[in-house]
Structure formats: structure tokens, C-alpha cells
């Protein structure tokens, strides 16, 4: 893996807030391309907007309510006209060894959006803290989302490689490294390449590294070690971005298990299968759901 190419610049802004600017020159070089995979063409303002996209044989439509970037905002989903949960009803697998990724946060954006696992039908909503919308202090340089029908079980203790950390009670996160920006709410078949075992506030929070099957380099990148040739600095950039992104709020840096190594494709697929099995146990009532909204 190449030497880290990340530069961190901390700038004091008004109201005493710190703006964290992450300069990833090699990564950002392909971050501004305007291509769209499964574009939803959804307006980001207004009280109510709707859009439709076909994903394989799925006829998915999204509806937005409230103003984007506020705690009133939500994006809900329907399939063939019936309300669905994007967490529970979008298939895990996309065929040919690919998996479906639901994009929550497009690359080069600041607003922290996520599938609301404790809200009925699990819409995408603005993450909040103490009633205020949460924003990143610098843009995320990759598409970010989750894999449907997965869950990191908070009752299962990890092994020594992750310091015995328990799961974070969320679907499996995925960082998509391709050239195109993916719209929020879009569903994209991705190829798993590797995985980082991030430890966030003592919890295990796996970060799957993947590439859209439609990316021009998807056929050439088959494992985590292939990434550097086509998208230099990406793996180290992902690790450092997630290490530091909470520090402007006064929180400590995040850590990583497995000696901070980005594990390969085989481990990534193993993590997908493990979190899918945990999800199945959750849905079958074998694991306590707590406040999670289940079908």
C-alpha cells in the first residue's frame, strides 16, 4: 500500500467551530466527475418531490418531504407502488458476485444522511445531534452508503483483531470508490474489494470498500491491492478520513483493528455474509431488536 498522501488542514471558523479540510489530491482528482449511475434527478429543495428508477427488475421510486439538510427532511421508498423499507426490501445480492449498495451520501457532499433504522419503513433522513442537523466538516471524497439486509450485531463480541469490540447496531457501511457520483437513494450493483475494521467509540464499524460495476476500471480492480494502480491514495485516504472526521467536534480519533490493514476481497465477502447472517437472526427473532424498526 502506498505511503499516505493525506494532508490535514485545521482552520478556525466563526462561532469557534473547526473546519477540517482533507486534501486528497490523488483521490479528489476523480471526485468531481459528473457521471451518474442510476441517477434519480431529484430536486433538493421543496416540500415534496418524487422520482423513479428501475434497478434490475426492481421498480423503485423515491419520495422526498421537507427541506433537504434539515431535520424535517426524509426520503421514502416504494416498489411497484407499495411502500417499502430500503433496508429490508432491497435485495442483498445483485447477481454475478455483485451486491446492492444504497447510497446515503454522495461524494463531495457534507450533509450526513443515513437510513433511519428506528423509524417506520426506514427512510433516509438527516442525521442529527441534539436536534440539529449533523454535517461533515469537510466533504467526503467517495460515495457512502450501506448494504441492504445486513446488520452489525451489538450483542456479538469481536475477536482479538478488533479488540473484542461489539457491532454498532447498523447495516454494513460501504465506501464506493468509483469515478461517478451516485445520487442519494440510488441503488448500485458494486463489487467488493476490501474492508477496514474501524473502531468507533469502542464499537466495531466495518467499512466495506467497493467499486460500482459500471465504473470504467471495475473489470481491472478485483482486490484491495489493485486499487492503488488506478485510484492512487484511495485506501490510505479512506482510512485517514474516517480516522479524523470526528475530531473537529472534540472527539478522539477513530482506531482500526487488524493492525490498521485494509483486508482483501475474501475478508470483505466474509463480512458481508456474517452481517447478513446476523440480519437474518434479527429478523427471525433470535436476537433482541431493541428500538429497531423491523417488518
Range of the domain at 131: 79-284
CA 145 to chain centre: 3
Task: Indicate whether 189 belongs to any domain.
Answer: yes
Decide if pLDDT at 44 tops 50.
no
Residue with cell 427532511: 73
Report d(CA 231, CA 149) in Å as an integer.
29
- The answer on pLDDT for 263 being more than 60 is yes
Of 73, 136, 231, 279, which one is the catalytic site residue? Answer: 136
Domain count, the chain: 1
The CATH number of whichever domain residue 202 belongs to comes to 3.90.80.10
Does 136 qualify as catalytic in the annotation? yes
Q: What is the pLDDT of residue 123?
A: 98
Q: What is the pLDDT of residues 80-111, one digit of tens each?
A: 899 999 999 999 999 999 999 999 999 999 99
Would residue 228 count as lying in a domain? yes
**Alpha-helical regions (H) of the chain:** 25-28, 227-230, 234-244, 265-283
Establish if 48 belongs to a structural domain.
no
CB 85 within 8 A of CB 97: no
Give the model confidence (pLDDT) of 129-149 as tens digits.
777 787 888 899 999 999 999
Query: Which three cell numbers, joined as nine digits, stand for 227?
Result: 486499487
- Return the number of other C-beta atoms located less than 10 Å from residue 26's C-beta: 16
Position 7 in a domain:
no
Taking the C-alpha atoms of residue 142 and residue 78, their distance in angstroms, rounded to an integer, is 26
Q: Of 20-24, 103-107, 209-213, 237-241, which gets the smallest average pLDDT?
A: 20-24
Asked whether residue 55 is assigned to any structural domain, the reply reads no
- Element spanning 213, H or E: none
| pLDDT score at 51 | 52
Amino acid at each position: 500500500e502506498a505511503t499516505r498522501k493525506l494532508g490535514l488542514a485545521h482552520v478556525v471558523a466563526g462561532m469557534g467551530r473547526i473546519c477540517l479540510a482533507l486534501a486528497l489530491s490523488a483521490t479528489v482528482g476523480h471526485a468531481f466527475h459528473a457521471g451518474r449511475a442510476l441517477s434519480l434527478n431529484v430536486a433538493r429543495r421543496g416540500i415534496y418531490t418524487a422520482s423513479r428508477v428501475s434497478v434490475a427488475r426492481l421498480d423503485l421510486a423515491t419520495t422526498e418531504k421537507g427541506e433537504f439538510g434539515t431535520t424535517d427532511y426524509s426520503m421514502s421508498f416504494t416498489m411497484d407502488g407499495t411502500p417499502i423499507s430500503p433496508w429490508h426490501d432491497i435485495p442483498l445480492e445483485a447477481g454475478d458476485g455483485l451486491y446492492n449498495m444504497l447510497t446515503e451520501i454522495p461524494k463531495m457532499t457534507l450533509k450526513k444522511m443515513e437510513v433511519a433504522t428506528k423509524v417506520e419503513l426506514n427512510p433516509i433522513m438527516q442525521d442529527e445531534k441534539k436536534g440539529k442537523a449533523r454535517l461533515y466538516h469537510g466533504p467526503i471524497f467517495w460515495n457512502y452508503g450501506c448494504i441492504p439486509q445486513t446488520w452489525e450485531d451489538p450483542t456479538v463480541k469481536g475477536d482479538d483483531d478488533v479488540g473484542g469490540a461489539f457491532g454498532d447496531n447498523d447495516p454494513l457501511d460501504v465506501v464506493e470508490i468509483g469515478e461517478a457520483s451516485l445520487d442519494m437513494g440510488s441503488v448500485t450493483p458494486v463489487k467488493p474489494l476490501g474492508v477496514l475494521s474501524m473502531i468507533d467509540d469502542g464499537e466495531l464499524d466495518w467499512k466495506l470498500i467497493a467499486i460500482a460495476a459500471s465504473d470504467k476500471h471495475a473489470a481491472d480492480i478485483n482486490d484491495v491491492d489493485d486499487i492503488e494502480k488506478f485510484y492512487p491514495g484511495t485506501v490510505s485516504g479512506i482510512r485517514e478520513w474516517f480516522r479524523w472526521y470526528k475530531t473537529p467536534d472534540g472527539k478522539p480519533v477513530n482506531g482500526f483493528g487488524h493492525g490498521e490493514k485494509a483486508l482483501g476481497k475474501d475478508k470483505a465477502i466474509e463480512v458481508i455474509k456474517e452481517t447478513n447472517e446476523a440480519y437474518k437472526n434479527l429478523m427471525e427473532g433470535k436476537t433482541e431488536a431493541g428500538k429497531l424498526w423491523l417488518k
